[in-house]
Amino acid sequence: MVAKTKYGDTFCVSTGKYTGRSPKDKFVVLNPGSESAKNMDWNDINQPTSPEVFKELQEKAVGYFNTIDKAYVFDCYVGASPASRKKVRFVHEMAWQQHFCTNMFIRPVSSEELENFEPDFTVVNACADQVKDYERLGLNSETAIVFNIEEGKAVIFGTWYGGENKKGIFSLMNYLLPLSNPPQLPMHCSANVGKDGDVCLFFGLSGTGKTTLSADPHRALIGDDEHGWDEDGVYNFEGGCYAKTINLSEETEPDIYRAIHTDALLENVVLDPNTDSPDYFDTSITENGRVSYPIFHIDGYHKEQMAGHPKNIIFLSCDAFGVLPPVAKLCPGEAIYHFLSGYTAKVAGTERGVKEPIATFSTCFGAAFMTLHPTVYADLLQRKLDTHGTNCYLVNSGWAGGPFGEGERMSIKTTRSCIDAILDGSIEEAEFKKDKNFGFKVPIALNGVGSNVLNIRSTWEDPEKYDEQAKKLGRMYTDNFKQYEGKGSIDYTAYGPKDMGPCKESTSICD
């Protein structure tokens, strides 16, 4: 369908049954004796399947494509850094899915590149076909997203959701980069750069504000979701953006709103039957309405899509308990603790079955896409922080004044004011007070942020209820973190809520 927007006509598509990812249907081939069999963090996210099952699925996909009249092949790069990028080939039956990939990945710029293109990885997306005999194959449904690391291949069945293409390749990069020489850190984050070359990373799950908050009119966008950090600095994996459209308006999100014109692709957005204009406030299809568009639709984007080493890192948490302050400064040990914890809330619509925010711990702010053990990424980040002296902060884009259902969502103005203070360096001049529950430092006053909001406890009508909630969340942190005790090169347990003094001078990490 054609969608008529203020800045030009574009297309709007329906992804059918699935309006979000289908994480229970993602599998990785366990090739006995292989490197991936040894390195992969096998769990309920990285579910193993056999080479025999993959072979059967691959033959099924090839057979299916032999029955249809037309297929679309797109060769692209993942990674803006010529030294680090990977070559990927997508094969689709749906023209709009092919267009999605042209929006989201990096296009070769010359005919010579295409003539000599040899993919490192090939994805065959038979989205309209289903795996009817999934039980015999040990799968979970008629939908399947299956990766074979050794063969450099993947197949997709039964889901039209565009994000499966994007996030599948992200999972692949999360496997390959830490094992490269020298090791690189893949990150589920957005990134932008200031006029002086200062880079800021924004970590967070879908719905926490990565895309929104990194789209800053005073800074150039490097990328909105997936990046690598190598010896030269930060680089974007992608060539486009995949933004949520729920409640989108030009007043609140001008960069994203104005990017929706020719070549943008709306997914699962309701169109007004009389005007064909998108209604971003109508969530009758899903709360996970999306738009993909090439990054050059953003005015002032960073054309190189690469920059130096980060000056600041911001961990975004959508705190459904209403306990965390709007901003806190983290020492390096606390930064790794919160990186491994990845506390946030699953936001409605980004996964099947999620209708309201649910508190969750998603390691590295992207557990669904991490293919190695989380401490591999944590150790890499620790080394980067040690080498480059990057400042780290926790920002709560969730609730204040009470938990979800009682309090109110933190205003975008408050969150942006906190981030502005980080980016302009004024937060470093603030007076801080140590949070008695979590140990990190909270500024007492910041320009543009009410002191009552910075003191998150004071936003609650009943401070004792806040204390109960804070203790509850603290226990959730410590219970979750038990899985990392004694793992990795450093045990970061002491940097969480159990230890109210993690930044003493005697601790080497936080000196």
Q: How far is CA 163 from CA 168, 228, 243, 405, 442, in A?
A: 8, 19, 11, 29, 36
User: Backbone dihedral region of 139: left (phi > 0), alpha (psi from -120 to 50 degrees) or beta?
Assistant: beta
Give me the catalytic one of 129, 225, 230, 255.
Answer: 225
- Please tell me the distance from the alpha carbon of residue 77 to that of residue 87, in angstroms, as a whole number: 5
Residues whose CB is less than 8 angstroms from the CB of residue 74 and which lie 6 or more positions away in sequence, other chains included: 89, 90, 92, 98, 101, 102, 105
Helix (H) or strand (E) holding 478: helix 463-481
Give me the catalytic one of 26, 60, 99, 188.
Answer: 188
- Please tell me the distance from the alpha carbon of residue 292 to that of residue 269, in angstroms, as a whole number: 12
Q: Minimal CA–CA distance to 366: which of 384, 391, 340?
A: 340
Token pair for residue 304? 């190189």
Q: Is 21 a catalytic residue?
A: yes
Strand 233-236 versus strand 306-307 pairing type? antiparallel
Instruction: Say which residue the tokens 């289903």 belong to.
Output: 130
Backbone angles phi, psi at 469, to 5 degrees: -65, -40
Give me the catalytic one of 171, 206, 350, 371.
Answer: 206
Q: Is 167 a catalytic residue?
A: yes
Q: Is 508 a catalytic residue?
A: no
In sign, the C-alpha dihedral spanning 356, 412, 257, 302 is negative
Q: Is 211 a catalytic residue?
A: yes
Backbone angles phi, psi at 307, to 5 degrees: -155, -175
Q: Is 188 a catalytic residue?
A: yes
Q: Is 290 a catalytic residue?
A: yes
Q: Minimal CA–CA distance to 316: which of 344, 347, 350?
A: 344
Buried residues in 253-284 as b, exposed as e (16+ CB within 10 A): bebbbbbbeebbbbbbbbbeeeeeebebeebe
- Please tell me the distance from the alpha carbon of residue 352 to that of residue 326, in angstroms, as a whole number: 29
Strand partners, 333: none
Instruction: Give the number of residues written for the chain.
Output: 511
Give me the catalytic one of 99, 167, 227, 457.
Answer: 167
Q: H-type helices in 43-180, by residue range?
A: 51-65, 95-104, 111-115, 134-137, 163-176
CA dihedral 415, 342, 205, 308 (to 10 degrees): 80
Please report how the helices 374-388 and 332-341 are oriented relative to each other, as an axis angle in degrees rounded to 10: 150
Q: Is 225 a catalytic residue?
A: yes
Give me the catalytic one of 5, 19, 21, 75.
Answer: 21
Which residues are catalytically annotated?
21, 167, 188, 206, 210-211, 225, 290
